[in-house]
Amino acid sequence: MEIQIVRFKDGLDVISYVEAQTEEVELTDPMMFEISNKNLLLQHWLPVAVMKQNSVKVPRTEILCFMEPNQDFAEYYGSAVS
């Protein structure tokens, strides 16, 4: 799995560990993010308090594209989920 930014067709951006499969994409530890001025805000995308695992499979048809985060953002995300 690698860290990727996933942009959904509805415009939502999520950073996550991604494992691409044939018809689905598995997102592990997905977090929404927002950049305001020079501040970065990360928040859980899934209701982790009531979930067994912080992982979800999403149909490929819902995803617009994948983007590679820069090293600083990937490290910040990695430290936030560990």
Please give the chain's pLDDT, 82 residues, in tens. 899 999 999 999 999 999 988 899 999 999 999 888 888 889 999 887 787 888 999 999 999 999 999 999 999 999 999 8
CA 12 from chain centre, in angstroms, equals: 10
The predicted structure's pLDDT at residue 36: 86
CA 20 from chain centre, in angstroms, equals: 13
The predicted structure's pLDDT at residue 39: 87
pTM higher than 0.85 for the full model? Answer: yes
The predicted structure's pLDDT at residue 12: 94
Structure tokens, 69: 């985060």
